Amino acid sequence: MTYTWLYAVAPADTGAPPPDTPGGVAGEHPRTVGAGGLLAVVGSVPDPDFDAEALQRRLRDPQWLEPAVRAHHRVVSATAGRALPVRFGTVYRDDDRVRALLTAHADAFRTALARVADRTEWGVKAHLDKAHLDKARLDEARANADPAAATGTGGPPDDDRPGTAYLLRRRAARDRDTRDLSDAAARARQVHLALTGLADHSTEHPPQPPEATGVRDPMLLNGSYLVHRSREAGFARAVRGLREQHAPVLRLELTGPWPPYSFVDLPTGDGAP
């Protein structure tokens, strides 16, 4: 017995996945199921490995999850440009449940397809670039022969009040860090607004914590932007310009193009095993 894993939904004239399409989450070759003038890109996955209980266990297993997510993404990417990516882990009891989904929600799928047609998703992350900011401040202060201004160590000399001087230096450093973070957050907002003006749609995701990114500096922007293919080069140039404009305060990271995961909210019905 097998279940049906759903990867993407595409127009009916998309055709079957080419023979060189990467294998799916279970190593299976993707295929299509049609109904309602639409095609679903699916794969057959084995029971009992993908029934509801087993799937929940797998979703908590990083050793399975990471390669499976990559496999899902590869299949979706192979159909990108004309397909709607479906959330990872969407499984149906059989092909008939998928056909019923396509038929029941055909209008919603077609509306979503029109929204993302010939468009891709780009991601932009902005971090406070503390190391480069501190270096720039130090270089400027050295040029002005005032290294204390760069390090926040300015204040009363260490005469007979070393404790007071230390506390004043600490306070100056905290005040400087607060100003830096406030300035960086305002700049990240400017970046998002500028890129939103170049995209068809945009959205912001919650900033990722340092333990997820491996970056100690705080993330101030985690944005996604839906961009028409004809404007991709201009969008990338704009990011490069913003990166130069806001250095050394911000570090901008551009990723993409991706299937438009952030701009698709599809009905998935109730067909899971």
In angstroms, how far is the first alpha carbon of the chain from the final one?
12
Tokens 């199921």 correspond to 33
Same domain, 59 and 177: no
Same domain, 91 and 127: no
220-261 residue pLDDT tens: 999 999 999 999 999 999 999 999 999 888 999 999 999 999
Count of the separate structural domains present in the chain: 2
Same domain, 96 and 215: no
87-122 residue pLDDT tens: 999 999 999 999 999 999 999 999 999 999 999 999
Q: How far is CA 82 from CA 3, 8, 120, 142, 174, in A?
A: 25, 10, 10, 56, 51
Of 117, 136, 165, which residue sits at a domain end? 117
Task: Collapse the DSSP code of 214 into the 3-class scheme (helix H, G, I; strand E, B; otherwise coil) and give the result.
Answer: coil
Q: How far is CA 240 from CA 64, 81, 191, 209, in A?
A: 36, 25, 11, 24
Residue 126 domain boundaries: 121-258
Specify the pLDDT at position 67: 95
Contact 269, 103 (CB under 8 A): no
Contact 250, 219 (CB under 8 A): no
CB atoms within 10 A of CB 257: 18
Same domain, 236 and 125: yes
The values of phi and psi at residue 200, to 5°, are -75, -40
Supply 32's token pair: 């299509």
Specify the pLDDT at position 49: 86
Specify the pLDDT at position 78: 86
Same domain, 93 and 133: no
Nearest to 154, CA basis, from 142, 169, 139: 169
Q: Please identify every stretch of the chain with a pLDDT value under 50, giving residue numbers as ranges.
A: 158-159
Specify the pLDDT at position 12: 87
Beta strands in the chain (DSSP E): 2-11, 31-35, 38-46, 84-85, 91-92, 119-128, 201-204, 219-228, 250-258
Same domain, 92 and 131: no
Contact 81, 228 (CB under 8 A): no
Of 83, 117, 151, which residue sits at a domain end? 117
Same domain, 162 and 111: no
Of 98, 117, 136, which residue sits at a domain end? 117
